[in-house]
Structure 1
């Protein structure tokens, strides 16, 4: 499917929710170059072509990727140690996704419940947030916290739990860039905004994204009622792909 540039022109839409869950890489930051360099280094160590690893690694936990190519390294001690070094060794190779800093600063300042749910380890996530001086959420769900990574829904379900939302059936919106993450959010029963930052449009459509936007500049917090716990998001310049009522 070919989606022309002008297709990113849907009318502004207002979406109500009680909490937000964010993937990290490709959604809040773009550390593609750093990730490539890290897997190239590991590939040389284990004798596997980095291109082969990279074809299956995005949006997945390193422990799951290494289990395929070098099972003896598929342990948290090794992975946490290696990933902790990435932000310091390759910090200059990462940038924020356009609009992410402003949006996170706004929701954090206004105390809207939010959480990062990522396939990276805790040292990796904290390291990138520190290096890029981005807002830190009160809660994180990282690779070590769940038995099965994305597209399994466990990580996003845990993210909702960590938000401690008061509603009996809270409405949660997920922000993702990878098909595996979109499927994870949908399997958890949440609506998903997919960012077309790392994958083809048709892959995000096939994964079931509710909206597709170019980046975080298409989303803003329209209102937040702390008393009722209800937020209104405005999504602009998106491809509306399914019924989101």
Structure 2
């Protein structure tokens, strides 16, 4: 979600500065590795006494409430979601955020809520572990031999998608081109304004067009 559908970077920076000061950890240290990873996984390393889902759900629920005006949609995200929904194509959000965070941001930006959702609470291990994308695949009801496409911006998420057996488009929205390429996605684009749905078959198989791809195929 974050970095792929919405950009809440400014809000997240303020959020982690508040949390960092609260737990006595330099916020800049947290921010160096936090994007794309679950808050609970960061807290397990930095402040184990705070690493509970109850605490994480509470602190993430406050993010959209306190910093709602700090987030914007990623270019092309709304149009692509509307195309998928109109065509009844299967799609899901698989995120390192908690349910309160996801629903909070989607409500603030008036973006559609997915029928299928995988959050931080859904799996034991977060990205780059592939469990979240394997669960998303399962919840979509797709067969084991289906072709599933992941849209990701963080190296941890790209690695998780690839390890789950998916094709991955890497977006250069939150990390440098070099960091995205190093995670080895199948394609790299700047944002979702480069991705357009051309058709969707009765079996849910979608044909996409990439324009202005930064890298057409990562070797």
Measure the CA separation in 1 of the matches of 2:179 and 2:115: 32
What is the correspondence of 1:18-57 to structure 2 with a 5 Å cutoff?
A: 24-57=1-34
Per the normalisation by structure 2, the TM-score is 0.97
Q: State how 1:104-115 maps to structure 2 within 5 Å.
A: 104-115=81-92
Q: Which moved more, 1:177-186 or 1:203-212?
A: 203-212
Q: Which residue of 1 aligns with 2:36?
A: 59
- 8 Å CA contact retained: 1:224, 1:231: yes
Alignment gaps of 5+ in structure 2: none
- TM-score normalised over the length of structure 1: 0.87
SS in 2 for 1:229: coil
SS of 1:240's equivalent in the other structure is coil
Aligned with 1:164 (options 132, 136, 141): 141
Residues 81-131 of structure 1 deviation map (CA, whole Å, 9 limit, x = unaligned): 110111111000000000001111111122100000000001100110000
Aligned to 1:141: 118
**Which residue number corresponds to residue 229 of structure 1?**
204
How many Å apart are 1:229 and its aligned residue?
2.6
Alpha-carbon contact 1:108-1:137 (below 8 Å) kept: no
CA RMSD of aligned residues (A): 1.0
Name segments (4+ residues, structure 1) moved above 4 Å: none
Q: Distance in 1 between matches of 2:187 and 2:29?
A: 30
Q: 1:74 aligns with which of 47, 51, 54?
A: 51
Question: CA deviation digits over 1:145-178, x for unaligned, max 9?
Answer: 001100000000000001012x451110000000
Mapped partners of 1:108, 1:125: distance in 2? 18
User: How many matched pairs?
Assistant: 218
3-state DSSP of counterpart to 2:198: strand
1:242 shift after superposition: 3.0
Q: CA deviation at 1:241?
A: 2.9
SS in 2 for 1:152: coil
Q: Is the 8 A contact 1:205 1:241 kept in 2?
A: no
Please give the alpha-carbon distance, in whole angstroms, between the structure 1 residues aligned to 2:15 and 2:85.
31
- Once residues 147 and 184 of structure 1 are traced to their aligned partners in structure 2, the CA distance between those partners, rounded to angstroms, is 14
Match of 1:85 in 2: 62
| Residue 137 (structure 1) shift | 0.7
Residues 181, 218 of structure 2: 8 Å contact kept:
no
More strand per residue? 1
